[in-house]
Amino acid sequence: MSKYLIRQQDVEPYSPANHTGTKNYRLICPQTVGAKQMEVLIGEVERGKGALPHAHPGIEQACYMLEGTAHVEVGGESFDMGPGEACFFPANEMHKVIVTTERAKIMVIYSPPYLEKPENARTS
């Protein structure tokens, strides 16, 4: 077994704070492969659900839409994104993502790792 290959089906999903209808699978992180500067996860999100407004102090985030569509708000911009499109959330910038199809699958990258720690997010 490789210490660097991670399969989604082998990772226990969790429901992230400040999100609704979302199951995240943490693929690349300190616990899985020893990553120190990044975290990569897959989020599976239901229609009308997603990330409520929040920001990550000191943490940059990128999202890549694998399946489905979502409405995104960040830094005074509002747009819809679909498969093959990516968006960026600067550190400290409030953002929101709501799925507009039956479901969506989104790859999320944090740098440095977010690790689902309450002190790594703010809602106001």
Give the count of domains, the chain.
1
- Which tens digits make up the pLDDT trace of 53-98? 999 999 999 999 999 999 999 999 999 999 999 999 999 999 999 9
Six token digits for residue 28: 């690349």
Six token digits for residue 16: 């992230």
**Is residue 2 assigned to a domain?**
no
Q: Among 35-39, 42-46, 115-119, which is the least confidently predicted range?
A: 115-119
**Is residue 3 assigned to a domain?**
no
DSSP 6-63: --GGGS--B--TTEEEEEEEEEESHHHH--SS-EEEEEEEEEEEEEEEEB-TT-EEEE
Looking up residue 94, the CATH number of its domain turns out to be: 2.60.120.10
Measured distance CA(81)–CA(6) in Å, rounded: 27
The H-or-E segment that residue 110 falls in is: strand 103-111
- 110 lies in which domain range? 8-120
**Is residue 37 assigned to a domain?**
yes
**What is this structure's pTM?**
0.93
- Which tens digits make up the pLDDT trace of 97-117? 999 999 999 999 999 999 887
